[in-house]
Amino acid sequence: MAKEEKKKSGGYSAEQISVLEGLEPVRKRPGMYIGTTGPEGLHHLIWEVVDNCFDEAMGGHADEVGVTLNPDGTVSVSDNGRGIPVDIHKQYKVSALELVLTKLHAGGKFGGEASGYKISGGLHGVGVSVVNALSEWVEARVERDGGVWVQEYKFGKPQFKVKQIGKSKNHGTTITFKPDSSIFETTVFDLKTILDHLRQQCYLTKKIKVTVTDRRAKGQNDIYCYYFEGGVASYVRHLNHTKQPKHDNIFYVLKEADGIPVEIGVQYVDDYKETVLAFANNIYNPEGGSHVMGFRSALTRVLNNYARGKGYLKEKDDNLSGDDVREGLTCVISVKIREPQFEGQTKAKLGNPEARGAVETIFNDAFATYLEEHPRDAEAILGKCILAQRARAAARAARDTVLRKGALEGLMLPGKLADCSSKDPSLCELYIVEGDSAGGSAKQGRDRETQAILPLRGKILNVERARLDKMLANAEVKNMIIAFGTNIGEMFDITKLRYNRIVLMTDADVDGAHIRTLLLTLFYRYFPQLITEKHVYIAQPPLFRVAMGKEAHYAFTEEERNKLVDDMLKLKAERAKLKTKKGEVGAQSPAPEEEVEEGEAATTEEVEGEEGVTKISGISIQRYKGLGEMNPDQLWNTTMNPQFRMMKVVNIEDAEEADATFDTLMGSEVASRKKFIQTHAKNANLDI
């Protein structure tokens, strides 16, 4: 009977149960603790240590934070806080410093009022210990109580007991670590990523000096400093520095309610989108949460009350909606909570209900006072909100007319759309193609089962400068919205998307790049979910066709073209030599100029042949300026065949920078665009 039971259990017993001690779980499953072992996870190591520094600053114990990128690949993060305790822990009989660096969920942030921190960002207690676990080498250096204390670790294991190596009147902690190259895809830190993150943290913690030093290059010692007196008001000003504000005074409030400090900055700009950045304990909450809900509720109520009281809205007028009052809004909300409740380890959304009440109470009173004290600002804000209300009503009427139910169900698809026969969206692709000529080639060369083609006539509307009602009057934009099937605006529903991939396929010239930018602006502003869920792609058609006799190859860059020409010239020379050796009649030795070294093809004498084709020693090079120059077979084989094609997926790595870039390139501010062009003109690769 026992044997039969053992057979049923497959030999699964207590012997198969393993326990990972200390920091082993982190090295075994790093993704559980830092999300990824790619570049984001690598930089997360710095954030974990820096968070501890800012926790000291939020507690009023530090006013300087430093990050140094060293030549040996290590990173040093320091603060002038109290210094991690080095005395012996009563329960574990080791130094508190060693305990914090080697044990998960160990730290001074769990004991409530009796803990070392009333407010902190890292409440899981895995921060610096995870950094230790995922590093080849770590040194912890602490200055406190008149001494300098140090301990080193290799792969998370202490190399000696915490020891005093000198005396010091200073105080603070410096953690130096070298990421484990066997765990991370790359161990090269990106300076811009570090600067952007620390600048944001500096905005959220007033009067903290942050210094970043890059010493990686030989003889290099680049130093960057951030210090902001204005808190989130300075952050709002930074976010709007390329935009046209509707009012000069930035609304700012810093108050406390129910033990929760609340800091809010608000300014309206001449724009159609909303920018709200929410933070809890300096941690960015991309999905918002209770603090954002409290802010939005108070904003709508205060503006409606003021508009009614001052006669901006008559009795017969509808109240302003949430969408109306948030058009053109730039807002930064920062709350500090003793025990924040986040949804998941990524802390994307704040769940504390008390945060909503605190934000709603403070913002309601302060913003109402601001409107009374700044009547000109109030008039500008309400003028924009009421205009947005009217435009939204016009847009709703236009959408109801254009995008009626039958159209979205595919009964009235655009006439120019050559749809695919498959009804399974996961298999289907929509190619948005520039021009009828390229559209014709694409329609003939495609896989009719899964690939749909929608040609565009000319350049679409620049939606950066247009409201929804004006957009829906544009035939090309309207055709795309109907083809997608998702609707737009508040009626957007990604589950109705008719194609898993939407591929932008434009010519490889200046006009093609402009059309692609206009399309990306449309997606970023009105269909961001298509980008974040990786439904938008950019096709990569070849730039050149290099042929010798019946042999032809395609090149996607000038370097590839030059290499193909070099190889063909060498092959031609070898064939000529072979013919000479065989003694064939009429064979000639190759001319010296045909024997070219690799990389010299571009300097070989060129003879112009037919239009768009260059001939070099019998080799034909065709430069494709337009997709319409390819026949259907060529377009299929190079750009549309899933077996051979190359496509780039469109993704948003830095939403703030993406927003600023679209605003610069496509917005109404000419000066910033001119400066951008002048700055990057030398890097532009134009084929005019």
Known catalytic residue: 434? yes
Q: Is residue 617 part of a domain?
A: no
Give the span between the Cα atoms of 226 and 648, in whole angstroms. Answer: 36
pLDDT of residue 612: 64
Catalytic, 222? Answer no
Alpha-helical runs (H) found in 374-435? 375-402, 405-408
Q: Domain for residue 205, yes or no?
A: yes
The answer on 497 and 366 residing in a single domain is no
The predicted structure's pLDDT at residue 211: 97
Q: Distance between CA 569 and CA 606 in Å, rounded?
A: 13
**Domain range spanning residue 516?**
403-541+649-683
**Parallel, antiparallel, or unpaired: how do β-strands 275-280 and 251-257 relate?**
unpaired
Do 202 and 257 reside in the same domain of the chain? Answer: no
- Phi, psi for 168 (deg, rounded to 5): -160, 145
Q: In the predicted model, what is the mean pLDDT of residues 304-321? A: 91
- Contact call for residues 262 and 359 (beta carbons, < 8 A): yes
620 domain residue, yes or no = no
Of 152, 365, 447, 509, the active-site residue reads 509
Tell me the average pLDDT of the chain.
83
Among residues 152, 323, 379, 511, the one annotated as catalytic is 511
Does residue 672 lie in a domain region? Answer: yes
Is 608 contained in some domain?
no
Residue 153, pLDDT > 90, answer yes
Mean pLDDT over 353-358 rounds to 95
Same domain flag for 395 and 419: no
- Is 272's pLDDT higher than 90? no
Question: Of the residues 169, 203, 226, which one is the last residue of a structural domain?
Answer: 226
What radius of gyration do the chain's Cα atoms show? 31
DSSP classification of residue 464 = G
Q: What is the pLDDT of residues 527-536, one digit of tens each?
A: 989 998 999 9
Tell me whether residue 507 is one of the annotated catalytic residues: yes
507 in the same domain as 359: no
pLDDT for 458 beyond 70:
yes
For the ranges 43-47, 253-257, 386-390, 595-599, which has the lowest average pLDDT?
Answer: 595-599
Outline where DSSP puts E strands in 125-242. 135-144, 147-154, 157-158, 163-167, 172-179, 209-214, 222-226
Domain boundary among 226, 251, 276: 226
For the domain that residue 355 is a member of, what is the CATH number? 3.30.230.10
Q: Does one domain contain both 262 and 379?
A: yes
pLDDT over 80 (residue 539): yes
Give the whole-angstrom CA distance, residue 549 versus residue 620. 9
Say whether both 447 and 466 belong to one domain: yes
Shared domain check, 261 and 222: no
pLDDT at position 197 over 60: yes
Higher pLDDT: 440 or 654? It is 440
Q: Are 63 and 229 in contact (CB under 8 A)?
A: no
pTM beyond 0.85: no
* Residue 508 shares a structural domain with residue 389: no
pLDDT band at 4 (very low <50, low <70, confident <90, very high): low
- Reading the block at residue 223, the tokens are 């130093």
465 and 326 in a common domain: no
The sign of the dihedral angle between the CA atoms of 615, 621, 627, 631 is positive
Active site residue 659: no
pLDDT, position 674: 67
Residues 216 and 666: their CA atoms lie apart, in Å, by 37
pLDDT tier at 491, thresholds 50, 70, 90: confident
Residue 149: CB atoms within 10 Å: 23
Boundary residue ending a domain (226, 241, 263)? 226
Please say if the pLDDT value at position 605 is more than 60. no
| Domain-embedded: residue 577 | no
> How far are the Cα atoms of 116, 519, 650 from residue 460, in angstroms, in the given order?
58, 8, 19
- CATH number, position 489: 3.40.50.670
In a domain, 565, yes or no: no
Same domain, 64 and 159: yes
Both 193 and 268 in one domain: the answer is no
SS3 178: strand
Q: Which pair of structure tokens corresponds to residue 307? A: 């508009």
pLDDT of residue 111: 45
568 or 107, greater pLDDT: 568
Say how many domains are in the chain: 3
Q: Are residue 209 and residue 313 in the same domain, yes or no? A: no
Among 266-280, 356-370, 561-575, the least confident range: 561-575
Q: How confident is the model at residue 501 (pLDDT cuts 50, 70, 90)?
A: very high
What average pLDDT does the segment 325-333 reach? Answer: 95
pLDDT of residue 187: 94
Residue 2 lies in a domain: no
